[in-house]
Structure 1
């Protein structure tokens, strides 16, 4: 019986931001696919209760510390078969919320830290001759939906992944990007607490009429890390309930017969 190309049995996957809303679903989905999962986050307490074979601790806002932690992991445990760069953060929702410090902080976490984490692994994968990386970006990288510093950083991840795909493809390294839309994780809790009717304004923008589930983002990442996607690299996959397909609100408010 031929093994399913969607399975990850015998593979080791490193997931950053593993303790977050999407991160926990990533851990669960990769374990269900048979992978051995190493979780990375800022503090060990964030990873408690997860089905992990190991933990790597670093603050992605600190690029040097992140690179050092990954270097120690590689030296002790070797190169993972796949990496999901998932850690991210934003609070500055519009241009008026930005200043130099806020801009630098959001790029440090979402772009510079992701580079510091993955660059040593890319080099190790290229030396070995095989590996897959998945970057969890955002629809904010594809169009403006607010959070301008975060959007700039997430767009940078798209460019970085394409660079890996082009320059390291000959050494067997693949890199792809997932761009989620609004995902119903605890990150929305503070907004909904302030305005319980907020989803009444959010959901009409989504053709599927709902937010994306963390498991749906995770399933896409499993696909990208599996042999089922072995011929795919340098791509960007929106997992966004149809948001970037077109402007549903415009169709409903302007064009549809009332």
Structure 2
């Protein structure tokens, strides 16, 4: 089990880190952050083209909606490369922004990707980490797990991740496993570029909800994950860390519009 170092080093040099959703904006920031600390970084995504050119030691390709393919990919990876020291469950997906856009198919797809698929990645890795006696899991959840900001099915899945994280922290802690979650608010990834091209006025609607007056960056989310997986957080497990520019701290528009002068 990783222990704090005398010089404040994060204890991640030479550690094997597996990142899902590695090809996305947050995923690429995670790769850069862990590589910068000397970790051995493996990445997974649903299409090889998304991770082909990224600085990864190993690449896994599977669809989280496909239980059999996910399980086989993880089992083969463990057999070939060993059990990672750190698993970052970063992959996620949403399309149904309001209840009116969520039917049975949307619900099942988003739960399958954002919750069930994460379980099929995590369970075999945790089982092997437990046999080894050490391991670290970080779930990239969402502020949507903590309050309703739209995307009902995605929110339910991300809330489920927090419950699963706590179960791992409580029941697997005796095997040297730590599990924590990061809950980002709106993250300024390239995905926003397309939205802002369609709706240039959208940013002016979004930012007043954030006390810091801005969205967080992918690197800020990555640094929170690095902290939770590092020896600096060796006594932290079962915790949820919001990286949201203050969104969940309170309702700033209410203060400004109702109580303000």
TM-score bracket, shorter-length normalisation: over 0.9
Q: Deviations over 1:151-208 (max 9, x none)?
A: 0000000000000000000000010000000001122233222211101000000000
> Counterpart of 2:64?
60
C-alpha distance in 2 between matches for 1:222 and 1:43:
25
> Counterpart of 2:19?
15
Gap runs ≥5 in structure 1: none
TM-score, normalised by the number of residues in structure 2: 0.96
Q: Deviations over 1:36-71 (max 9, x none)?
A: 100111122111321111111111111221111001
> Counterpart of 1:90?
94
Find the partner of 1:100 among 98, 104, 114: 104
Gap runs ≥5 in structure 2: none
Q: How does 1:34-183 map to 2 (within 5 A)?
A: 34-183=38-187
> Counterpart of 1:216?
220
TM-score, normalised by the number of residues in structure 1: 0.97
SS of equivalent residue, structure 1 residue 134:
strand
Please say if residues 181 and 241 of structure 1, whose CA atoms lie closer than 8 Å, have aligned partners that are also in contact. yes
Q: How does 1:198-237 map to 2 (within 5 A)?
A: 198-237=202-241
SS of equivalent residue, structure 1 residue 135:
strand
C-alpha distance in 2 between matches for 1:189 and 1:118:
32
Q: Deviations over 1:62-95 (max 9, x none)?
A: 1221111001101111110000000000010000
C-alpha distance in 1 between matches for 2:153 and 2:198:
23
Q: Deviations over 1:101-131 (max 9, x none)?
A: 1100000100000000011001011110000
> Counterpart of 2:193?
189
Q: How many residues align?
A: 257
